[in-house]
Structure 1
Amino acid sequence: MRSGAKTAIVGAVFVVVAGGVGYGGLNLWNGITGGDASVGTRSDDAPKTGPVTGDEVSATAKDFLAAWAAGESDKAAQLTNDPVTAGPAVLSYREGAGVSKAVITPGTPVGTTVPFTVRATVTYEGASKDWSYSSELTVVRGQTTGRPLVKWQPTVLHPRLTANGTLRTGVSKTAAVKAVDRNGAELTAEKYPSLGPVLDELRKRYGAKVDGTSGVETWIDSGSESVADTTLLVLKKGKAGTLKTTIDAGVQAAAEKAVKSYGKAAVAAIEPSTGAIRAVANSPAGGFNTAFLGQQAPGSTMKIVTATMMMRHGLAMPGSRVECPPDVVSRSATFHNLNNFKIDNGTLTDAFRRSCNTAFIKAIGKLSDKGVADTALGETASRSFGIGQEWNIGVPAVDGSVPESAGSETPASYIGQGKITMSALNVASLSATVKNGGFLQPYLVAKELDDRPFATADPLSDEVAKGLRKMMAATTAGEGTATKAMTGVPSPKGAKTGSAEVDNQSTSNSWFTGYSGDLAAAAVVQSGGHGGDAAGPVVAQVLKAG
């Protein structure tokens, strides 16, 4: 995307500064002045075993940081457990990234991990700027030598550096972009951290389509044409072209705050009447865009589609009586309701609002008689909700998948398990489709910018749309599983909760989707448990901001 620095920095000045408990009394200039490189080795031939000691952690970290600071890439590499990879990476820090000066300050070790801060100066063809950030390293014992070594990973050099990425400084080949929200307010990664990857993609795709000029920057070259580079520092600004997005700054701020309470969470919000994406937020922010790119089982939020399938095939309407026993055997597999609850003489609305698994799984019998049990759910997802079609929203996003199933995967899919995968954006679109009465493909920038095709779907019939809205509204009242989370959210409103079991995960993922007025949203919280407990409050906070 840009032309990188071509020559090495001559006369670079690097310093390691003592800081934090655990470094007192150590010669921090050892790595620069040519001290003993055999730190942590023993006088006898037998490699040392067992956990690394505190002294070994301190000494090894000190020597590595000193070698890195001195620009001694070979020496730094030999102090890691992967010198073949580490050597070129450390070398490129000075030559490729154009770092002409660096002061590295280690912090207090925590076990085998040593945090540190870097205050650097980046220089390129007369342009120069200070650059500060924090990272950390971990010390491990070498498997063959027994020496304490830095566990090599790209994040040692910079916390956002990936295995395929390379630090570069140079002239950008992509014009600078000033992204603004629906009302013209500027959107920056500093103010809205979750938008960082999105803004990078927008620049990559649309920088050439808006008026602007290139500047001088430090960035992470992703190493892939399909992944946008990540700008880390602007040494010399280019003229930014203005790019209007559909984001609503107020809703975005609420989304950022809502997911921040959880270690791993994602939320997306859509305007049902237009398909415009109003917010996208992830925790942790600035990394993988789970809200758009996640591929996870959506749990019982999928019952929106299953209920649609049942109504379309004449199996039940909201007021129809359905069976909801504590458990059911389907395709030789046993499925249970939460805590084995049952509903006596209940309706489809009762089953929906209390998220009765068995009532929806029992639909498989009648659909099997029609010969469509394995395909009806996927056909409904695509035809009525656009799931499985290609969504061109303006940045990369997964399209959702409801594949044809077989055996016990079919009843599992009816409750959002099996092979079904969705992102928060996909699930938010389910609620948006219900509220609008038909699917409108979500989008982040106007299609006119690049004439990209939008996915389409058949409108919901009036009877089905009203039925879904009735059931989703019931879920927010009385015994509905979304009642607590949606308290205080303005009406008209509707919601559906979900939890999805994940292999090797003791607690299920929490899912929740809902709408209020002309805003729909969905959230997933990893290991969050019941939908209303974790994801529900996230969605409610976003809806209240709309």
Structure 2
Amino acid sequence: MGNRRRVAERRNKRPVVVGGVIAAVVGGAGIAGYALYGGGAAAEDGSSRAGERKPAVKTGPLSAAEVSSAAQAFLTAWQQGKVAQAAAATDDPKAAAALLTGYTKDAHVTGAALTAGARSGDRLAFSVKGTVTYKKTAKPLAYDSALTVVRRASDGKPLVDWHASVVHPDLADGDTLVTGEAGDPPVKAFDRDGGELTAKRFPSLGTVLDGLREKYGKKAGGTAGVELRVVRGKDSKAKKASDKTLLELSEGTPGSVKTTLSPTLQATAEKQVASRARSSVVAVRPSTGEILAVANSNPNFNTAFQGSLAPGSTMKVVTASLLIEKGLASADKPHPCPKYFTYGGWKFQNDDEFEIKSGTFKASFARSCNTAFISQAGKLDENSLTQQAQQVFGLSRDDWSVGVPSFDGAVPVQSAAQMAAELIGQGGVRMNPLNMASVSATIKSGTFHQPYLVAPSVDDRTLATAARKMSPSTLSQLRELMNYTAAYGTAAKAMTGLGPDYGAKTGSAEVDGQKQPNGWFTAYRGDLAAAGVVQAGGHGGDTAGPIVATLLKAGR
């Protein structure tokens, strides 16, 4: 009888469920209800009678009920302010507890109401509504997030797969949410013609504007307001990600920063990337290094400036300059382009296993023959390509000062097959469209001009310079190679009608686990150079090529 009474008491303490909504009232928390489908979480008392066998660890795919139950347990506890209980419903209780504690203590979010949305397999979408209160200022907060449920290996228990993005989609692991006086005053950014640049007008510039605020907020004469913002952690800072404002509680006074962006080219770039998923593009002025346009189809990460991707055959521009300088290739002299070439134990081949018999280096460059470059690997030192990239093209030195966070490429010293792979833009080589636009600009201008978005005179910073120039003969041959490729090679289709003062190089970079390669394209026309990438897009001439060519046409 006593046991029955205890069971009844436990049942009476469960929250009342009406119409699929759990109504809960927690003292001082101001909690609202949230909708969840599926049944409640199963009770677990962890008891085991003597002589009973331990239950087998459950494996296999999660059922819909398991996903809903695990999600319900986590969201209910989070909503009710039971941080320890919510954290225990995840596979990383320590990290979860820290961020969920900070959600109310540091971000000052109160009255959080969590509403579950659609479930897709192991993933559950949900929305969050609450209030951010700081001193005497309060503003409503609303956003959508999602969680994924996984099975714990040790006992098969379904748990929330913990990542900071569960709390807010703009958080990366290690980031935090903080409400208080803004670390940096706001800024108003302007294009080269004096027009204001806003994320509403140009969606791609959201991350750029964040970077400008971070660098110039205190220097541009503004005063800080109060805001809820993402404060980047160690890993995010290593990727040069900027803090991000999520909600402005009170406005500060903005300062002013003028950029080098062209409103016409920026609008063209925005339109081009909007038409292709996972695309990015940059345009620069070769004679000065001024950045005239930057756009990404994903507005949440500036791949154009901060991406770190294998550039594929666009890297052959740098490699060709090295081979010509070393006397290992010459534009109009015969050069081998076999179907295959083995080096360092790796067998390299050309796209579709083509070969060029009795061809010149210019023909191999224009058709993007991999083996023409790999065949020269044994005649180079391990650091030859690294030095060429650093000394002539200003790459891979980590010393660019663009005005916002950027990555200036990586060409690490490698050996054997990896060194050979770097010659064709694979291996350890990593670039982004800004880097590759700068490569074309260097060929056009004859010398490296570090790209910049804000003039160095604004803050008296020093721009990076190259250690040396290419010889006139090398430069002349490189221009001949790129011109021939634009007119008759793999770039001809995209560059139709843009000649004769032009040059281009296509690229396709293989990525492990990706069906289609990343498509690259770098080119120049007159005093304008541009480069773009379409991730998982396929051949660069067909994907990134039209994006870049459109900018070159608009720049006339």
Identify the TM-score tier after normalising by the shorter chain.
0.7 to 0.9
Q: What is the alpha-carbon distance in structure 2 between the residues aligned to residue 513 and residue 347 of structure 1?
A: 22
1:466 pairs, out of 476, 480, 493, with: 476
Contact 2:41–2:70 (Cα < 8 Å) also in 1:
no
Q: What is the alpha-carbon distance in structure 1 between the residues aligned to residue 477 and residue 550 of structure 2?
A: 26
Who is 2:430 aligned against?
421
| 1:341-356 matches, cutoff 5 A | 341-356=354-369
Greater mean deviation of Cα atoms: 39-48 or 142-151? 39-48
Sort the Cα spacing of 1:519 and 1:108 in 2 relative to 1 into closer, same or farther, 3 A: same
Q: What is the alpha-carbon distance in structure 2 between the residues aligned to residue 353 and residue 384 of structure 1?
A: 22
Who is 1:292 aligned against?
305
Contact 2:41–2:69 (Cα < 8 Å) also in 1:
no
Sort the Cα spacing of 1:185 and 1:38 in 2 relative to 1 into closer, same or farther, 3 A: farther
Who is 1:430 aligned against?
439
Q: What is the alpha-carbon distance in structure 2 between the residues aligned to residue 189 and residue 39 of structure 1?
A: 49
The residue type equivalent to 1:395 in the other structure is V
> How many matched pairs?
518
Sort the Cα spacing of 1:95 and 1:249 in 2 relative to 1 into closer, same or farther, 3 A: farther
Sort the Cα spacing of 1:12 and 1:181 in 2 relative to 1 into closer, same or farther, 3 A: farther
Q: What is the alpha-carbon distance in structure 2 between the residues aligned to residue 462 and residue 438 of structure 1?
A: 11
Shift of 1:274: 1.3
Shift of 1:331: 5.4
The residue type equivalent to 1:378 in the other structure is T
Q: What is the alpha-carbon distance in structure 1 between the residues aligned to residue 134 and residue 121 of structure 2?
A: 38
Q: What is the alpha-carbon distance in structure 1 between the residues aligned to residue 251 and residue 499 of structure 2?
A: 44
Contact 1:15–1:66 (Cα < 8 Å) also in 2:
no
1:508 pairs, out of 500, 517, 520, with: 517
1:16 counterpart = 2:27 = no
1:524 counterpart SS class = strand
Q: Deviations over 1:101-147 (max 9, x none)?
A: 33332212112211112232212122222222111112233434544
Q: Unpaired runs of 5+ in structure 1?
A: 1-8, 27-35
The residue type equivalent to 1:217 in the other structure is E
Q: What is the alpha-carbon distance in structure 1 between the residues aligned to residue 349 and residue 332 of structure 2?
A: 23
Who is 1:29 aligned against?
none
Greater mean deviation of Cα atoms: 255-264 or 316-325? 255-264
Q: Deviations over 1:1-27 (max 9, x none)?
A: xxxxxxxx99442313337xx46xx6x
Who is 2:139 aligned against?
129
| 1:145-294 matches, cutoff 5 A | 145-224=155-234, 227-260=241-274, 264-287=278-301, 289-294=302-307
1:358 pairs, out of 354, 359, 371, with: 371
Instruction: Give the CA RMSD over aligned residues.
Output: 3.0
Q: Deviations over 1:378-421 (max 9, x none)?
A: 33323321223322222332332334443334433332233333
Shift of 1:63: 3.7
Shift of 1:162: 1.7
Greater mean deviation of Cα atoms: 108-117 or 265-274? 265-274
Who is 1:66 aligned against?
76
1:476 counterpart SS class = helix
1:323 pairs, out of 316, 336, 343, with: 336
Q: What is the alpha-carbon distance in structure 1 between the residues aligned to residue 59 and residue 471 of structure 2?
A: 70
Q: Deviations over 1:277-331 (max 9, x none)?
A: 22333343313x3332333332211221222223333444433332323233445
| 1:323-402 matches, cutoff 5 A | 323-330=336-343, 333-364=346-377, 368=379, 373-389=381-397, 390-402=399-411
The residue type equivalent to 2:205 in the other structure is L
Shift of 1:96: 1.6
Who is 2:534 aligned against?
525
Sort the Cα spacing of 1:37 and 1:57 in 2 relative to 1 into closer, same or farther, 3 A: closer
1:535 counterpart = 2:544 = yes
Greater mean deviation of Cα atoms: 313-322 or 73-82? 313-322
Sort the Cα spacing of 1:316 and 1:153 in 2 relative to 1 into closer, same or farther, 3 A: closer
Contact 1:40–1:148 (Cα < 8 Å) also in 2:
no
Contact 2:487–2:499 (Cα < 8 Å) also in 1:
no
Who is 1:6 aligned against?
none
Sort the Cα spacing of 1:536 and 1:195 in 2 relative to 1 into closer, same or farther, 3 A: same
Q: Deviations over 1:76-105 (max 9, x none)?
A: 223223222222322222222122333332
Greater mean deviation of Cα atoms: 36-45 or 452-461? 36-45
Q: What is the alpha-carbon distance in structure 1 between the residues aligned to residue 265 and residue 33 of structure 2?
A: 43
The residue type equivalent to 2:250 in the other structure is K
Sort the Cα spacing of 1:239 and 1:310 in 2 relative to 1 into closer, same or farther, 3 A: same
The residue type equivalent to 1:285 in the other structure is P
Q: What is the alpha-carbon distance in structure 2 between the residues aligned to residue 238 and residue 92 of structure 1?
A: 24
Shift of 1:211: 0.8
Shift of 1:49: 4.4
1:123 counterpart SS class = strand
Shift of 1:199: 2.4
Q: What is the alpha-carbon distance in structure 1 between the residues aligned to residue 27 and residue 412 of structure 2?
A: 58
Contact 1:16–1:65 (Cα < 8 Å) also in 2:
no
Contact 2:482–2:503 (Cα < 8 Å) also in 1:
yes
Greater mean deviation of Cα atoms: 290-299 or 402-411? 402-411
The residue type equivalent to 2:252 in the other structure is G
Q: What is the alpha-carbon distance in structure 2 between the residues aligned to residue 409 and residue 391 of structure 1?
A: 26
Q: Deviations over 1:408-463 (max 9, x none)?
A: 34433332233333222211111111122221011121112332222222344444
Contact 1:42–1:48 (Cα < 8 Å) also in 2:
no
Q: Deviations over 1:33-79 (max 9, x none)?
A: xxx76458899863654433222323332343233223222232232
Q: How much identity, in percent, do the aligned residues show? A: 47
Q: Deviations over 1:346-378 (max 9, x none)?
A: 33222211112233334456xx3xxx5444433
Q: What is the alpha-carbon distance in structure 1 between the residues aligned to residue 357 and residue 73 of structure 2?
A: 71
1:292 counterpart SS class = helix
Greater mean deviation of Cα atoms: 61-70 or 240-249? 61-70
Structure 2 length-normalised TM: 0.84
Structure 1 length-normalised TM: 0.85
Contact 1:209–1:449 (Cα < 8 Å) also in 2:
no
Sort the Cα spacing of 1:118 and 1:377 in 2 relative to 1 into closer, same or farther, 3 A: same
